[in-house]
Structure 1
């Protein structure tokens, strides 16, 4: 599960990066149905990983874990059907083959239907009489799983509903307002439950100790959130709250690492070396989520976009950045002809970079593509894309962006995937497999 989840995390990040670089509209996520097809098994797989942790530690949630495994794999097959069958029109879709789509749909019905039927018949064998208190790590992990499944259901409905209504000759479109309206509060609630989940003990946790420990971190998060609100364009309360929660999650893991390292009583650095790789993988994955949430918040609330008419010699400004359309020329590539612009960018009068956006026409297909010019940085991206020519080519529709923190989205995704790889390298899983192998060999003999 962790291997599949790590690959899928990297794959989604690469797809987002591709859309940002190649499509020329400056976006990293559009809630496109094919994008959603990859997100659905990722959400279910994330819930499955956390459910497996409870099953491993406490032998609980066994039926829940099996059901999540069935859901995650079924959603993977559903994503394959959406992408490969041609039922969706998308720049991400790979094929338009009804016969292939019918086969995949049939396979999905057999696999998902058979698995769910078997689960209904045999789920009673997975019951366990062990319990846990309402304030415990199990309870918080169960709450997070419910939030992740709710998010999965929201995305599934938003993706499938247009297809259902289209079959009834009704055209509807479900776009960002629907998804964001649900996803933003669900993500915030998820982070709120993650912090006490990290701090809590298995089976039972003293509520007063938990509240005291969480309260110690609150002032640091509030101060950091205040600094976030002092950006050039102050965020609305949703943006400030999201930054605070992301920082709160990071501070909580730093506090937990320090406490666990000191608990060994052999010195802080010695204690750090004794922390298992699976634990470091969890810390990395959770901190990666915080980095990604911070990046999404920054680019969502502080991005500046200008769609303007520009010709050689024209100037446009975004904040303290000036963009001068210096010149235009023609360029011949190995398999395309290009009209290329040259934009000089300066910050407070000091030269920063020269950007070269292009409008390419490919020889083989005659397809016209936008090649955006991007000056990438850790804190911000400057993005210029050329649209359509105006006034017989003397001027162009130009799109200019200032995107703060957008690199953090992909950085956070890679940190999460690295956390999965780190957890996979934990020696205790190899010892467990070795011990199980010895046990099976003894039983056979």
Structure 2
């Protein structure tokens, strides 16, 4: 570069990127997640990376995190892009999608969506400005059967077990339990208490108690009761007994406890301790109305949630005059992957997907080498033909550096046979490109 200033290459904070040997592991994870969702009958949906700002701000709660779009050299008077923004989650675009395609969908509609999302917040450990979410949702007209509240955590448990993660726990609560309990205490604004209790991970019981007293205006007795409820943990439906022992009663509380007990009973067959009724889980978003979920690593309790979600009554109500309740969960794939990578728990593989490198000692052999490569590819192998005529030793080093396990030597002279070299063992033997199997 002579007329331009050299630009120093640097990663942008909060926008992760991986080397090929790491990316290939992430792609495997995505395949595991996709296959797991499809095993339960969820179909794939993809929405545009951008939505109108009216859609993105329909719920209003995260509007400050939206990245708005603007062309750097837009034409004078052209404001066509001024009302567009990058989606900050996949739930709001999904609600718009369902409303738009309502007459073409079969309900209950079970969808999964694996895409990048963007949030304009301060980057820190576990929080990114660009990341991949893996969502599943069930949405239906007027009513979503309660058994889906148990099916979704089972799907997530199966998928995340397939990723062979360090020990983690899926914590489950019900917003009706919280709201009904606070109503039974005589609290004027139960939703404000829910938002405050949702800070338990960050502030601890003492900090939350102080906020409930000073900011929300609860009495000492009410604060103590709220903290007592938040301390309840159970691995099965005995959570009902623990809440009833507090002496607080309300119709909504009883309804929420029945739903929570149903979900916990339906998941009893999962490994002991992997699913816990945790009454400190609040999920502060206002649109959650029933069951809520939050997954955490056991060894890193202060790390952000690795999966989350809940039941909502009518998320699509901003877009269509039909009652469309639903329930959804999301796996924070980038958050999980980045943490395990930082802890040295991701075993990276080769830096390319090739099974075989076909050598090319001279340009006069290119046709023969290309035919062999084509034959092997036709049998389902990933094959790379070396890019130029070169010394064979150099080509073998190239394969070794990229993690390509086998090097193929076509018969470049009369009377010679095909040979393949296993770089792991150093063994080289005759092989037939029409029959050879990778071992």
| Normalised TM-score (structure 2) | 0.25
| Normalised TM-score (structure 1) | 0.25
Bigger CA radius of gyration: 2
Larger proportion of helix: 1
